[in-house]
Homo-oligomer: A and B are copies of this chain.
Amino acid sequence: MAETANPKFLRPLSAPDEDLGQALSFGPENPLMLDEGRKLSPFTIAYKTYGELNAAKSNAILVCHALTGDQFAASRHPVTGKPGWWDFTVGPGKAIDTNRFFVICTNVLGGCMGTTGPAETDPATGKPYGLSFPLVTIRDMVRAQAMLLDALGIDELLCVTGGSMGGMQVLQWAASYPDRVISAIPIATGARHSAQNIAFNEVGRQAIMADPDWRGGAYQGAGTQPSKGLAVARMAAHITYLSQPALQRKFGRSLQNREAISFGFGADFQIESYLRHQGLTFVDRFDANSYLYITRAMDYFDLAADYDGVLARAFRGSKTRFCIISFSSDWLFPPPENKTIAHALNAAAANVSFVEIESDRGHDAFLLEEPAMFATVRGFLNVVAASRGVD
């Protein structure tokens, strides 16, 4: 293992002098066993921490990011210069209070912000992995995180939390390492990817792979970028993160900097301009192959499948305390999907509370300023911390 101060990023940095977090590289003596059968070695996990680990190492909280997130949960994104993706929730005095807790956030396996993924160089060939990178699963991502925590000497997590794909990692943590997880807050997530969600992911992948600049995944060597395909993928996905009522409220049929429709194919409507912007800015910070790999990991996630199809068995005998949070207008992971997890935990006689928060902001609500979510997370962590003697 080798610790480096800063991970390598694929993209130009907006503020190169900032604290870019750490990276831990695992050599041949520490291969990562993958679900698909092979070992990944060497590999690197890039991560960022917030707050201080206490002497008892009892105040660590692992925050898991969603599809296009990264380790910059609560600090400026080094490429875009924007606030961290969970800046509303994590920080000094916030719901996940970094004055009290030591927060760790890793870039997932297969990602493109310093952790090994398809855009990294394959040491065996000296070329970028591209499609020769092995397919990774949510369990592989979690296994890599566990290896990082081992290396950091953190045996126990006071809490594991995250939304969407982050929530999948939370569930996998609770199932794979029940003794290490004191509490878990899966948010806006599911124990398996639904047919509709697989369908949307497949549309995104087909959009990327239809772009001739993708070049069978070997675009880095060719000096191209499947930017158009990746932008279309992002646009389609972005719609699923919002909600019909919120889109209507925010955009409706308002026109973009014009008095009347243009009778053409420009961005007449604000919603079109907004979506195009989402697509264009995304390609500046994300790798297209990473998008393929991570969406596939989500599709493959089906926690019950590892337990004879009975989700409750994934949590049998668990002492972890669970707090499940869902949002009423989330149609990517609708409340019933979240409730299914609560039912399974009930069936396993686990300690679980379930909260459905009224919001018209759709799936993305978990990333936004949602006071009811903050109050829920804060209250739950207070109880858990008190039960473990964490100040």
Chain A residues at the B interface, C-beta cutoff of 8 Å:
35-36, 131, 134-135, 192-196, 198-200, 202-203, 205-207, 209-212, 228-229, 231-232, 235-236, 239, 242, 244, 247-248, 250-253, 261, 263-265, 267-269, 271-272, 275-276, 279, 292, 296, 299-300, 302, 331, 334
A192, B244: Cβ atoms closer than 8 Å:
no
A209, B239: Cβ atoms closer than 8 Å:
no
Contact residue among B232, B242, B253, B299 (Cβ-Cβ distance under 8 Å from A207): B232
Q: Which residues of chain B are near A300, meaning CB under 8 Å?
A: 261
Question: What is the predominant secondary structure among interface residues of chain A facing chain B?
Answer: helix
CB distance from A376 to the nearest CB of B (A): 26
Contact residue among B235, B244, B299 (Cβ-Cβ distance under 8 Å from A194): B244
Report the Cα distance A195→B269, complex, angstroms.
9
B235, A206: Cβ atoms closer than 8 Å:
yes
B235, A202: Cβ atoms closer than 8 Å:
yes
Report the Cα distance A211→B232, complex, angstroms.
11
CB distance from A193 to the nearest CB of B (A): 7
Q: Which residues of chain B are near A292, meaning CB under 8 Å?
A: 265
Q: Which residues of chain B are near A299, meaning CB under 8 Å?
A: 268-269
B203, A244: Cβ atoms closer than 8 Å:
no
Q: How many copies of the shown chain assemble into the complex?
A: 2
Contact residue among B131, B194, B268 (Cβ-Cβ distance under 8 Å from A248): B194
A236, B203: Cβ atoms closer than 8 Å:
yes
A276, B206: Cβ atoms closer than 8 Å:
yes
A209, B265: Cβ atoms closer than 8 Å:
yes
Closest to A229 in B: B210
Report the Cα distance A296→B263, complex, angstroms.
8
B275, A239: Cβ atoms closer than 8 Å:
no
Closest to A261 in B: B300
CB distance from A132 to the nearest CB of B (A): 11
What are 20 pairs between A and B in contact, CB < 8 Å?
Answer: A36-B263, A134-B263, A135-B264, A192-B253, A194-B244, A194-B247, A195-B244, A195-B251, A196-B239, A198-B271, A199-B239, A199-B271, A202-B235, A202-B275, A203-B275, A206-B276, A207-B207, A207-B210, A268-B299, A269-B299
